[in-house]
Structure 1
Amino acid sequence: MDRNFQRAFSLVLKHEGGWADNPADPGGPTMKGVTLATFRRYVKPAATKDDLRKITDAQLATVYRRHYWDVVGGAELPDGVDYAVFDFAVNSGPNRAAKYLQGVVCVRQDGKIGPATLTATRAMMHATVINRLCDDRLAFMKRAKDKKGKLLWPTFGKGWEPRVKSVRSVALEMAARPSAPEPSPKPVESVPVPAPPPAPVSPSIIIEQPAVDWFAWLLSRIRR
C-alpha cells in the first residue's frame, strides 16, 4: 500500500548502510543502496562517484520511489507483501523481485507486475506469499555468482541472511495488522425547509343589501 512507502524506505536504508565500492559487488559503487548507474539515470546523467557519495535525502527518496517502489507496484500490493518485494527489488533488482513474486503466486513470470499478478497476490494468504518469497530469495542469494562465476554468499551472506530474516519478520507484522477502517460518512445535516407561503385567497364578492328600517316596517303592519 502506498501509505507504507515511508516506513519501507526507512527500513531499507537501515540495511543498505553508507558508501560501498566492493569490486566483488556486481552493482558497482553504491551509496545507501543507490548504484552509480541508477543515480545517473534518475538524478544526474554525468554523475561521478563523488556526486553519488553526496546524494541528498530528497534524491534518495526520488530514486527509491521511481526505480523500485513504483516499478514493483508497491502502492497496490497488500500490506507486508509490498515491503518484502520492495526490499528484494532494492537488493537484487526490481525485475528479479517481480519475477520471484510471480513465481510464488503462480502467474507468468514476465517481470512486470500488472492486474493478473496483483489479483493472484491478493487472493493468497499474505503471510504465505511473504514466507515463500523470503525463502526463494534466500535460495537465490546462496547460489548467486559474480561475473567470474564465484559464489557471492561467502562474502555477503553474513549481511544478507539477517536482512532477509528482518524483512520477513517486519513484513509479517505489517500483514497481520488490521486494515484501517473506512472513514464513516459524515451525517448530512437536515436543513429546515421553510414553509411555503400561504396561497393567495381570492377576495370574496360581497353584495351589499340595503339596510332595513324595522320601525317603519312595524308601523305599516299596525296600520293594516
Structure 2
Amino acid sequence: MAKGNFAPALADVLVHEGGYTADPRDPGNWTGGKRGAGVLKGTKKGISAAAFPHLDIKALNDNQIAEIYRARYWVKIRGDELPAGVDLSTFDYGVNSGVSRSAKDLQRVLQVAVDGIVGPATILAAKSADPRATIKAHCGRRMSFLKSLAIWNTFGKGWSRRVANVEAKALSWVSSKAQLEADAKAARDKAVAQGSGAAVGTGGGIGVDQAPDLAGLPVWVIVAIVAAVVIPLVIRTIVNAQRAQALASVAKEA
C-alpha cells in the first residue's frame, strides 16, 4: 500500500492546514519571516511566504502545492518506502514540526541511530517492527514534544486534536475494525480514569495521607502543588478523550 500513499497522506495533512490566509500579525505570512518584514504574501494550505518567499502564495494551484509537499517532505522521509500508517505519522509530524524532528522521534521509537535522516537502517527497522506499535509510540513522542513548547497553553488543544486524528487515520490503514474499537475503548477508559483523578485533586485535595504535609503552608504554595498534580491529569484527560473520539470515528468507517 505504501507506494500509493502520498495522495491520501497529503489529503489528510491538508485537512489540518486550512486555506489561504494573510493575517499581518502572523510572521509566517511575510516573506521576511517576521511581522512587518518583507512582503505580505500569506499562507495557503500550509505553504507560507516565510518558507517560500519567491512564490506567489495566493496563486498556487493544487498541483503546485502537492509537488511542494512531495519534494520538501514526502521524499525526505522516504514515504514510499515506509510501512503504511508509519508513512502518514512521519509525514504529518514532519510537515508540522520539521522533517528532522519527526525522523529523530521515529528513530528513537525504532531504536536505531538518531540522526534525523531516514536512511536504509531506519527503513529496515520500520519494516521489521509492528506498524501499530510504531504509530502509537511515534505519535506519543510527538505529543511529548508539543507539550514541552511554551505556547502549548495557547495552541495545545488544537495540536492534540490533530495528532489524535493522524494517529487514528494511520492506525486505520493497518488495523481491523475490532482493533480500532479496542483502541478507542482503551483511550476512553484512560480519559475517564484521568478525569476522575483530576476531580479528586480539585475537589478533595491531593490526598488524605498527604494532608499533614500541607498543613501550615501558604495558600499559594498549596494551590501550586494541587495545580502541579491536577493540570497534567486534565491535559491527559483531554488528549485521551480526543484520541477516543478519533479512533471511534475511524472504527465506525472501517
TM-score by length of 2: 0.60
Distance 2:75 2:29 in 1: 23
Which residue of 2 is the match for residue 153 of structure 1? 152
1:8-46 deviation per Cα after TM superposition (whole angstroms, max 9, x unaligned): 111110111123555477995532112224434xxxxx3
Where does 1:165-176 land on structure 2 (aligned, <5 Å)?
165-176=164-175
Match of residue 52 from structure 2: 39
Question: Aligned partner of 1:114: which letter?
Answer: G
Percent of aligned positions with the same letter in both sequences?
42
Match of 2:14 in 1: 13
How many Å separate the matches in 1 of 2:15 and 2:105? 23
Tell me the amino acid that sits aligned with residue 104 of structure 1.
Answer: V
2:122 maps to 1:112: no
Distance in 1 between residues matched to 2:113 and 2:134, nearest whole Å: 16
Picking from 73, 94, 97, the partner of 1:68 is 73
Name structure 2 gaps, 5 residues minimum: 34-41, 177-254
Amino acid in structure 1 at the alignment position of 2:63: A
Q: Normalising by the residue count of structure 1, what TM-score does the alignment of the two structures yield?
A: 0.67
Distance 1:78 1:168, change over 3 A: same
Change (3 A) 1:38 1:129: same
Is 1:55 matched with 2:60?
Answer: yes
1: CA distance between counterparts of 2:59 and 2:28?
Answer: 20
Flag the structure with larger Rg.
Answer: 1
| Number of aligned residue pairs | 163
Structure 1 residues 26 and 37, CA gap change in structure 2 (3 angstroms): closer
Q: Which residue of 1 aligns with 2:161?
A: 162
**Residues in 1 aligned to 2:142 and 2:106: alpha-carbon distance in whole angstroms:** 10
User: What do you get for the CA RMSD once the two structures are aligned?
Assistant: 2.1
Map Cα deviations across residues 128-187 of structure 1 (whole Å, 9 max, x no partner).
10000000001101112xxxxxx121221121111100011110111226xxxxxxxxxx
Q: Name the amino acid aligned to 2:10.
A: F
Q: Which moved more, 1:55-64 or 1:17-26?
A: 17-26
Opposite residue 174 of structure 1, the aligned amino acid is: W
More helix by share: 2
Conservation of the 8 A alpha-carbon contact between 1:39 and 1:63: no
- Write out per-residue CA displacement over residues 26-84 of structure 1, whole angstroms, 9 at most, x where no aligned residue: 995532112224434xxxxx33xxx2122211110010100000000100000100011
Amino acid of the structure 1 residue aligned with 2:164 = K
Contact 1:126 1:175 in 2 (8 A): yes
Report the 3-state secondary structure (helix = DSSP H, G, I; strand = E; otherwise coil) of the residue aligned with 1:112: coil
CA distance in 2 between partners of 1:25 and 1:126 (Å): 34
Per-residue deviation at 1:87? 0.5
Please give the alpha-carbon distance, in whole angstroms, between the structure 1 residues aligned to 2:43 and 2:159.
16
